[in-house]
Amino acid sequence: MQRRTLMKVALTAVTLTTFQATVAFAENPVLKIGFVGVTSGPAAAWGISNQRSMETRAAWINETGGYTIDGTAYDIEIVSFDDQKDPKRAIAGMEKMAQEGIHYVVGPNVDDGAAAVRPVAETNGIMYFPYAFPKELYQAPASNAVLGMVANYQSGPAIYNYLMAEKGVKTVAFIAANESDPLTQRDGGIAAAEALGLEVVSSNVTYQVDTTDFTPVLTPVMRTRPDLLVLSGVSPANAPQLIRSARELGFQGVISTETAQDAGVLAEGAGNLANGFISVGGASTPELASPMMTEFVQRYTDMFGEYNDESNTKVYALEYILETLKADPSAIDDVAAFQTTMDTFEAPNPYMNGDAKLRYVGMASFGQRRQVAVPLVVNVYQDGAFQTLFVAEVD
């Protein structure tokens, strides 16, 4: 009898606990934000950084009671889709978001994917924040894409200017993978270099992304003896291989790229041969980082066991979406309202010290505000870690 009573009490306690947990979860409605990007293959580091940044921030928001918009606290749910850097899969991912009624999506990470999903996004009322550079995605009549980072045609001139002034660089060679993203970035880099007065001594050498021996690829480039070797649109997986081959061929000039890289991958694949390699970093430095950015880095590291510097930039997209929805709650289900709000939107930047603001920029590049304002941080790799080379702003 006593055992039965104890069992009954125990079952009642479990039922009550389950009920309370359900009620606690049900207290907040759920706001779904999508991610469509590459989390597998050679470029996986780009999308993984996105997804982990979003998941870290969402968990933090939910843990602290939700995100309040117009008096209602929402739990944030991240719905993710690995497009495997395949435009067809990117379309499938965006269609999945539309089917789930999601109006705000971060990604895709590459040009082909971002262009491919445009019709789906525009037809289904989805604002998306790609990390892709074609200007036609952000110029009228396009209106649904918002560039989530600094573009190569904005960072490239800043890097080249710095190297011309500080390193005496006069000649430059470009090499790119034989894919649309890197080739587009190469062409933009060439135009920027020539506009600054640099002599382009090699620009037509390409490689396949599955190349394992880059010595034959780089040999004709090395014969041109450039001061600067630009790895246009290089993926984190290919960068250390190219750097190692260039150095083993005797190249002593500067190597740079306008894409974000992974210090751990560079250390593993190129070691000290990568010292001096210049790349675009995450949008923060120890001097710029606010206490909230410091806590974000710690939470990310606790959650995933490591941190990617690029997440200093990738943390921003979700914050921009939520803060813009807070500014105009009607935009939760109405992207036209979101677009209107973008023109005058401004909010404190929680990830930077000082009086920095979240705001949409891009008038100079696109003729409309279709880019998030984040600092341009340019890094140099040294002995296993990135160091800040310089910081700039773009519009």
pLDDT digits (tens, 9 = 90+) for 239-255: 999 999 999 999 999 99
pLDDT for the residue numbered 42: 85
The whole-angstrom separation of Cα 343 and Cα 393 is: 19
Using pLDDT thresholds of 50, 70 and 90, give the confidence band for residue 294: very high
Phi/psi-derived region of residue 180, left when phi > 0, alpha when psi is between -120 and 50, beta in every other case: alpha
Using pLDDT thresholds of 50, 70 and 90, give the confidence band for residue 282: confident
Q: Are residues 300 and 226 in the same domain?
A: no
Higher pLDDT, 65 or 2: 65
Question: Pick from 59, 99, 62: which is nearest to 81 by CA?
Answer: 99
CA 304 to chain centre: 17
Q: Are residues 201 and 350 in the same domain?
A: no
The whole-angstrom separation of Cα 95 and Cα 32 is: 15
Q: Are residues 63 and 209 in the same domain?
A: no
The whole-angstrom separation of Cα 207 and Cα 225 is: 19
- What is the DSSP-derived secondary structure letter of residue 147? B
Q: Are residues 73 and 129 in the same domain?
A: yes
Mean pLDDT of 23-40: 85
CB 296 within 8 A of CB 270: no
212: CB partners within 8 A, 6+ apart: 241
pLDDT for the residue numbered 284: 80
In a domain, 183, yes or no: yes
- Whole domain around residue 188: which residue ranges? 152-282+380-393
Q: Are residues 161 and 73 in the same domain?
A: no
Q: In Å, how far are 58, 192, 320, 351 from 357, measured between CA atoms?
A: 21, 29, 11, 10
Residues written for the chain: 395
Whichever domain contains 158, its CATH number is 3.40.50.2300
Q: Are residues 214 and 329 in the same domain?
A: no
Q: Report the mean per-residue pLDDT for the chain.
A: 92
**pLDDT of 80-111, one tens digit each?**
999 999 999 999 999 999 999 999 999 999 99
Q: Phi, psi (5° rounding) for residue 122?
A: -70, -35
Q: Are residues 294 and 356 in the same domain?
A: yes
The whole-angstrom separation of Cα 44 and Cα 50 is: 10
358: CB partners within 8 A, 6+ apart: 316, 319, 320, 323, 345, 346, 347, 348, 349, 372, 373
In a domain, 6, yes or no: no
Asked whether residue 392 carries a pLDDT value surpassing 90, the answer given is no
Which SS3 state, helix, strand or coil, does residue 33 take? strand
Q: Are residues 169 and 274 in the same domain?
A: yes
Percent of the chain at pLDDT above 90? 85
In a domain, 345, yes or no: yes
In a domain, 11, yes or no: no
Which SS3 state, helix, strand or coil, does residue 64 take? coil
Domain count, the chain: 2
Other C-beta atoms within 10 Å of 84: how many? Answer: 18
Asked whether residue 13 carries a pLDDT value surpassing 70, the answer given is no
**Which residue, chain included where needed, has tokens 């892709």?**
132
Q: Are residues 36 and 134 in the same domain?
A: yes
Q: What sign has the CA pseudo-torsion 365, 371, 375, 380? A: negative
In a domain, 265, yes or no: yes
Q: Are residues 257 and 386 in the same domain?
A: yes
Rg (CA), the chain: 23
CB 234 within 8 A of CB 181: no
Asked whether residue 15 carries a pLDDT value surpassing 90, the answer given is no
In a domain, 13, yes or no: no
Using pLDDT thresholds of 50, 70 and 90, give the confidence band for residue 26: low
Mean pLDDT of 60-67: 98
Mean pLDDT of 214-228: 97
Mean pLDDT of 359-366: 95
Beta-bridge partner residues of 382: 385
Question: Pick from 229, 237, 278: which is nearest to 387 by CA?
Answer: 278
Q: Are strands 254-256 and 30-37 parallel, antiparallel or unpaired?
A: unpaired
Mean pLDDT of 132-141: 95
Asked whether residue 28 carries a pLDDT value surpassing 50, the answer given is yes
In a domain, 20, yes or no: no
AA identity, residue 60: W
Q: Are residues 223 and 164 in the same domain?
A: yes
Percent of the chain at pLDDT above 70? 93
In a domain, 64, yes or no: yes
The whole-angstrom separation of Cα 80 and Cα 107 is: 10
Asked whether residue 25 carries a pLDDT value surpassing 70, the answer given is no
The whole-angstrom separation of Cα 20 and Cα 14 is: 10
Q: Are residues 79 and 193 in the same domain?
A: no
Using pLDDT thresholds of 50, 70 and 90, give the confidence band for residue 43: confident
Using pLDDT thresholds of 50, 70 and 90, give the confidence band for residue 5: very low
Q: What sign has the CA pseudo-torsion 249, 250, 256, 262? A: positive
Mean pLDDT of 272-280: 97
